[in-house]
Amino acid sequence: MQSFRSELENLENPVVQKDIIALADKIQIFREGKIDPDKFRSLRLARGVYGQRQPGNQMVRIKIPFGKMSVKQLKRIADISNEFGGGNLHATTRQDIQVHYVSLDRTPELWAKLEQDDITLREACGNTLRNVTASPVAGIDKDEPFDVSPYAHALFKYFLRNPVCQEMGRKFKISFSSSEKDTGISFIHDIGFIPKVKTEGGKEVRGFKVMIGGGLGAQPVPAQKAYDFLPEDQMIPFAEALLRVFDRYGERKRRMKARFKFLITEIGIDEVMRLVEEERKALSTQSYVVKNLLGQPRLPEQLVFSDKAINDQEKYEAWRNTNVWEQKQEGFYAVSIKLPNGDMNWEKAHAFGDVVLKYAADDIRVTVNQGYILRFVKEESLKSLYAELEALNLADPGFNSTADIIACAGTDTCNLGISNSTRVALELENVIEQEYPELIKNNNLHIKISGCPNSCGQHAIASIGFHGSSLRNKVNKKTVPAVQVLLGGGLGSNGDGFIAEKVIKVPSKRTPDVLRVLFNDYEENANEGEYYYDYFRRQGKDYFYQLLKFLADLETLKPTDYIDWGKEEQFEVETEVGECAGVIIDLFSTLMHDAEEKFVWAQEAFEGGNIADSIYHTYNVFINAAKALLIDKGITVNNQVSVMNAFEEEFGQDFKSLTGGTFKDFVLKINQNEPSEAFAISYREDAAKFLERIKEVQKDLLVEEPA
């Protein structure tokens, strides 16, 4: 594992170097059984390293902010996949790229090599601010008021390694749409920014409509409007204040209730916004003016033409009509790449990169439907581009159509997958291509599949959605791989979002028949031009239940129905594969180690001039140390505010000489003071005294315990 250190010499950023060394060190002490497995899991997830279904293998999630990457970065990821993983690049619905079958011990070296081309793993997984997504057509969309790409980039850079979002109760997701059509699907995000402009004093002013509290998962919830118009310079301050509120008040004990959407449900949007305003004073940035640091994309220096012929003119025309459209920049076209299951092998990725540089801008965008979009292609280059894409089997028509099915990795690699999703997707695409070819032109009816209820495949916003499940045959007591059918989700033509409704559960092998029944019914009974989400609501949920009920009949099962797609053996639901260090861990010591580590980080941040970061690290010293003492006494709490309240109740008198009042008021000086050097120093001095007092009280507790 130490071979990665030579790669660090190629990195100029000492913060990145330190981060990678820390991961290597933590892997070492995990192997030695000296760190709590849950703590180690949290640490590696925040660095993009996710355990696979296959023991001993990791999935590495590579963060592609708002989906933008250069050809050089694409080729670097391809080489990484070949050297460290299974050789496949898997594009996700969050505009990341995943590499599978990686050894845990090699992840520091992998990370170091990625960072040489400014690619990070940091906060790609875990209880962090995940990849900031944006409409893949931002910057070229004819409907956009302005390009949101620089704003998404600025927000990503601002919060990368920011202490406010490193160890939250659960993940947090932010998106940017390019227009009111909500092309970034803000209605399913914790924060969704939709660009708007208005005129003030004869000048055009930029801002954002802001949606908050959306989310998918097993209990999908649409976002609520926080602002009709938030000035552009308030975007980042608002996001930071909201993240602080979620960090402090968000659930931490009950995992299923730990998303931001549940906090809004519990206390209401008005109270959330009041708490946001309460945090404003503590922000180091009261106004953040975004500068465009992205520059202009590099275009091909001259027109070139391929010597490859177009052998199927009809397919070319279909591709031209479904995968190509005019940009807002006159004379240029965007070209989309449809990828089954979002997969591309490393060799093809290299060849694809060469094609991009010949015909398009050096600016590839990963899309939320697991494909790619090329930009700034000249009309004269389209036929040559098509011919070369076709030679790579990358010119399938029907991008973002009914035939372009989204599917998460499911049981192929994910611990949480219940039944197969990727093979189902391929089977359904085959049904469409063979039996309903006209649907490659339909971009209003979308199919999405997840391997479990968690909605990584976004089934909860699909016109026709499926998630992995199981059924029990009461007669022979055997388990059948199944899918839950959901209908009526999607994005309306005016930007309204719709959550799909659960209708019925059927054996997985009957999924193609579900599709045939639904397609035939829609064709026969829908009104002219009626969108599927409108058709579903007009007919009603029970109509579709009765329509599909015969496919749920378990008395007519065949032997092959008990075998999942792509498998040969009898289906059984597999539980999550856990990780264990094999030893008993002292949780008090682990949390105190965290508190002391945060204290060191607070000092380093202060010395580096990052006053606000120093103060927030100090805040976490109080929280972690207090939690350590509570856990040592057998008391568990569900959020940071509960830590403060419980600590006051149990130990308030023991610390009164230090706090001078309640522990909560003592800690929450953080949002009562501006982030000045003087406050940072006094706050950290209080934390040092608090740590010492914690150790004294813990020793007294040990003495009091009976032998």
pLDDT in tens, 70-87: 999 999 999 999 999 999
Least confident of 213-222, 378-387, 389-398, 430-439: 213-222
Least confident of 136-145, 258-267, 366-375, 691-700: 691-700
CB 216 within 8 A of CB 222: no
Q: Which two tokens stand for residue 542?
A: 């029970």
3-state SS, 419-432, equals CCCHHHHHHHHHHH
pLDDT grade for 589, boundaries at 50, 70 and 90? confident
Domain 313-391 fold? Alpha-Beta Plaits (3.30.70)
Check residue 8 and give its pLDDT. 81
Decide which of 570 and 581 is more confident.
570
Check residue 474 and give its pLDDT. 85
**Where do the domains of the chain lie?**
2-115, 133-282, 313-391, 406-562, 587-704
Q: Which residues have a Cβ under 8 Å from the Cβ of 499 and sit 6 or more positions away?
A: 220, 221, 222, 460, 461, 489
Check residue 706 and give its pLDDT. 41
| Percent with pLDDT over 90 in the chain | 74
Continuous segment of H or E residues that includes residue 193 = strand 191-200
Least confident of 64-78, 564-578, 684-698: 564-578
**pTM for the structure as a whole:** 0.92
Decide which of 679 and 705 is more confident.
679
CB 95 within 8 A of CB 369: no
Check residue 676 and give its pLDDT. 96
pLDDT grade for 574, boundaries at 50, 70 and 90? low
pLDDT grade for 290, boundaries at 50, 70 and 90? very high
Query: How far is C-alpha 700 from the geometric centre of its chain's CA atoms?
Result: 45
pLDDT grade for 277, boundaries at 50, 70 and 90? very high
Distance CA 33, CA 487 (A): 47
Mean pLDDT (whole number) for 141-159: 97
Q: Are strands 174-176 and 406-407 parallel, antiparallel or unpaired?
A: unpaired
For 33, phi and psi rounded to 5 degrees? 75, 25
pLDDT at 705 over 50: no
pLDDT at 381 over 90: yes
Q: What is the mean pLDDT of the chain?
A: 91
| Percent with pLDDT over 70 in the chain | 97
Mean pLDDT (whole number) for 633-642: 89
**Any idea what DSSP says for residue 101?**
E
Q: Which CATH superfamily is domain 133-282 in?
A: Sulfite Reductase Hemoprotein, domain 1 (3.30.413.10)
Check residue 409 and give its pLDDT. 84
pLDDT at 583 over 50: no
pLDDT at 178 over 80: yes
Query: How far is C-alpha 317 from the geometric centre of its chain's CA atoms?
Result: 35
Check residue 476 and give its pLDDT. 87
Mean pLDDT (whole number) for 93-103: 95
Check residue 585 and give its pLDDT. 39
Q: Which two tokens stand for residue 414?
A: 């994910």
Check residue 2 and give its pLDDT. 55
Distance CA 393, CA 390 (A): 5
Q: Which residues have a Cβ under 8 Å from the Cβ of 44 and sit 6 or more positions away?
A: 23, 26, 27, 104, 107
Distance CA 666, CA 658 (A): 9
Domain 406-562 fold? Sulfite Reductase Hemoprotein; domain 1 (3.30.413)
Distance CA 322, CA 402 (A): 11
Distance CA 481, CA 573 (A): 8
Check residue 314 and give its pLDDT. 94
Q: What is the pLDDT of residues 511-560, one digit of tens each?
A: 999 999 999 999 999 999 899 999 999 999 999 999 999 999 998 999 99
Rg (C-alpha) for the chain, rounded Å, is 26
Least confident of 264-268, 288-292, 419-423, 600-604: 419-423
Indicate the angle between helix axes 14-31 and 107-115, nearest 10 degrees: 170
Taking the domain 587-704, which CATH number applies? 1.20.120.330
Instruction: Tell me yes or no: is domain 2-115 CATH 2.60.40.10.
Output: no
Check residue 636 and give its pLDDT. 84
Check residue 581 and give its pLDDT. 28
Mean pLDDT (whole number) for 307-332: 94
Q: 341 in the Ramachandran plot: left (φ > 0), alpha (ψ -120 to 50) or beta?
A: left
Distance CA 626, CA 375 (A): 52
CB 223 within 8 A of CB 188: yes
Check residue 703 and give its pLDDT. 52
Distance CA 124, CA 103 (A): 18
Distance CA 541, CA 545 (A): 6
pLDDT at 5 over 60: yes
Check residue 366 and give its pLDDT. 98
Distance CA 465, CA 457 (A): 9
Distance CA 89, CA 442 (A): 27
Check residue 593 and give its pLDDT. 84
pLDDT grade for 590, boundaries at 50, 70 and 90? confident
Mean pLDDT (whole number) for 560-589: 64
Domains 406-562 and 587-704 share a fold: no
Check residue 580 and give its pLDDT. 30
Distance CA 258, CA 327 (A): 41
